[in-house]
Amino acid sequence: MNQFLSAIGCAAAILCLALAGCDSSSDSFANSHDATAIGSPGPGLTLPIERTSNRSRGRSARSTTTPWSGSDRQSQAGFQDADAVAASSPVRDRVPRILIGLDADMSSASAKSGEAIRRGIVLAIDRINHDGGLLGRQVDLLVCDHRGNPARGIDNIRDLAANPDVVAVVGGIHTPVALEELSVIHDVELPYLGPWAAGTPLVANGYEPNFVFRVSVRDEFAGEFLVRNAVQDDKTQIALVLESTGWGRSNEVAMRQALDERELQPTTIQWFHWGEPSFRMQIDAIRSSGAEVVLLVANPLEGIRFVQQMAQVPAEDRIPILSHWGITGGNFADQVGDDLNRVDLRFLQSYSFLSADLTDTARSVVAAYCRTFDDADSARDIFAPTGTAHAYEVVMMLAQAIRQAGTVDRLEVRAALERLKNYNGLIRNFQRPFTVTDHDALTIDDLHLARFDEAGVIVPLGPN
C-alpha cells in the first residue's frame, strides 16, 4: 500500500492542480511518501504540492507579512494561506499559475539538502510574486520527493512534464538520480535547473539542444580545486575515497586529471557503496598507502561514518580530510558530534552568507530567510547554505529568462537562458551565466574551503 501511495503522489498532485476546486491550503508541504517535509506529520495521501507556504517549519500560514517588504500585503505574500489569496485575488483565481517543480530527496538521508533547496526556491518565488509575478501570473512551487531513487525521479520528471503549467524543474543533491533522468528530461523537453548535483556529465551530456542548466559546482572544477589545496598544504601523497556511483566516477576522472597534471598518482583509490556500514578496511588501506591527505567524495550518511571511524584511529595516525560538499546535505555536524574535534576536516563550498562583504542582495535574502522560517534568527542558522543560495539564484535566472522570452513556452525559455546577460545575482554578478556551449554558471574561481565551527555552523576559510 505504501508503494502505491508513493507511486501516485506527485502525479495526483499535478492532476489535482488542473482541477478548479483543488487547493493545498490544509498543509504547507505534502505528507505523501513522495513529498514528506522535514519535521512534517507522517505519511498520508495528501497532495505533494508546495505553494510557497511555510506552515510546518516557517511563519504561520495566516501571516500576511511579505518577507521582502515587512508590510501587510496579502496579495503578495507568497507563503500565506492559499484560501486567503483566492478570496482577495479573483484575477489570480482565473489565471493559471506558473509552476516550478522540485525533484529532490525530501525524506531520506539527504533530506536536509532538499529542504535547503526548497527554501531557496520559496524565497525566490516570494521575491518574484512580491514584484508582480511573471507575465501577469503568480508563481508557485510543486514538490516531488525522489528519496534518492532514480526510478522515482524519472516518474517525477514525467509527471511534472505532463502539466502544461510547469515551466521547469529544479533538481537535488544526487548526481546518480539526475544522470538517470537525462534521457527523459530531453525526451519531454523540460528545462532542468541544477542547484547542487555536481557531476560533470550532468551538464556535459552530449544532448543538443541541452535542457540542463546548473548553478553549482562542476566536478571537473572540484577535483582540480581539492587537489590544488592538498598540494598547497604540501601534501602530495593523496588518497581518494569515492562513492561507487556516477558522481564518484566523475570525481575520479577530475581528480586523476588534476594529479596527472602535477605528475602525481593517488596512493590508493577506495570505493564504497551507498549505505556502507564500515570504513575500517578503507581506512586501513589508506594508512598503509602512506597517504598524507584524503580526498573524500561522499554524501551525509557515508561521510558521517567515515569521519567517525577516522576519529577512532590513534591521534598520531589520523589523516586530514578534504571533502567534496556532499557531506553538508544532512545533519552531518550534529551526528558526527565531538568526533569533529578529533579530525581535520575541510570541505568545498561556493557561497557563504557569513562573508564579511555581503552584497545588498545577500543581506535582503538573509533578512527574508529569517522572517520566513521560524528556525532562523541570523545567517548562522541557514543550514546547507550553498543549496539555498544556488536554488535562489537559478530560479531568479529562470524568471529573468521568462521575462526576456515573453512566454513560458519551454523551448523558448531554454533558449532565453542561453542568452541571459547582465544578471546581477546573490552569489555575484554574471555578465552571461550561460551560453550555447556552456551551461555551468559557476567557475573554479567561485570555490573556497570551509569547515564546521564548534556549533556545527559552516564557516568559510577563504574569500567567497
Asked if pLDDT for residue 224 goes beyond 50, the answer is yes
Rounded to 5°, the CA angle 58-59-64 comes to 145
Positive or negative: CA dihedral 65, 67, 71, 75: negative
Q: What's residue 331's pLDDT?
A: 85
User: 307 pLDDT band (50/70/90 cuts)?
Assistant: very high
Asked if pLDDT for residue 232 goes beyond 90, the answer is yes
Number of other CB atoms surrounding residue 333 within 10 Å:
21
Region 424-431 average pLDDT: 93
For residues 175 and 194, what is the distance between their CA atoms, to the nearest angstrom? 10
Q: Is residue 167 within 8 Å of 99, Cβ to Cβ?
A: yes
**Which is higher by pLDDT, 87 or 218?**
218
State whether residue 429 is helix, strand or coil: strand
- Domain 2-217+382-445 in CATH: superfamily? Response regulator (3.40.50.2300)
Q: What's residue 86's pLDDT?
A: 37
Element containing residue 214 per DSSP (H, E):
strand 212-214
User: 250 pLDDT band (50/70/90 cuts)?
Assistant: very high
State whether residue 241 is helix, strand or coil: strand
E-only strand ranges, 275-355: 293-297, 321-323, 345-349
In this chain, the answer to whether the domains covering 2-217+382-445 and 219-349 adopt an identical fold is yes
Q: Is the peptide bond before 67 cis (omega within 30 degrees of 0)?
A: no
For residues 34 and 9, what is the distance between their CA atoms, to the nearest angstrom? 6
Q: Radius of gyration over alpha carbons of the chain, in Å?
A: 22
Q: What's residue 17's pLDDT?
A: 52
C-alpha cell at 461: 576559510
Residue at grid coordinates 518565488:
125
Q: What's residue 356's pLDDT?
A: 83
The answer to pTM > 0.85 is: no
In this structure, the strands spanning 98-104 and 166-170 are parallel
Q: What CA–CA distances, in Å, run from 224 to 19, 287, 340, 449?
A: 50, 23, 25, 13
| Greatest Cα pair distance in the chain | 70
User: 14 pLDDT band (50/70/90 cuts)?
Assistant: low
Asked if pLDDT for residue 1 goes beyond 80, the answer is no
Nearest to 106 by CA among 177, 173, 54, 53: 173
Show me where the domains of the chain are located.
2-217+382-445, 219-349
Q: Is residue 330 within 8 Å of 299, Cβ to Cβ?
A: yes
What would be the CATH architecture of the domain defined by 219-349?
A: 3-Layer(aba) Sandwich (3.40)
Q: What's residue 76's pLDDT?
A: 31
Each residue's pLDDT tens digit, 137-187: 999 999 999 999 999 999 999 999 999 999 999 999 999 999 999 999 999
Q: What's residue 154's pLDDT?
A: 98
Q: What's residue 230's pLDDT?
A: 98
Residue at grid coordinates 569521519:
307
C-alpha cell at 142: 510543486
Q: Is 147 left (phi over 0), alpha (psi -120 to 50) or beta?
A: left
Q: Which residues contact 359 (CB under 8 A, 6 or more apart)?
A: 426
Nearest to 203 by CA among 224, 227, 185, 228: 185
For residues 46 and 59, what is the distance between their CA atoms, to the nearest angstrom? 21
Q: How many helices (H) and strands (E) does the chain have?
A: 15, 14
For residues 110 and 244, what is the distance between their CA atoms, to the nearest angstrom? 17
Any bridge partners for residue 349, and if so which? 448
Rounded to 5°, the CA angle 451-456-461 comes to 20
Give the HSE-up count for residue 290: Cα atoms under 13 Å, Cβ half-sphere. 5
User: Among 70-79, 104-113, 337-346, 404-413, whose mean pLDDT is lowest?
Assistant: 70-79
Average pLDDT, the chain: 84
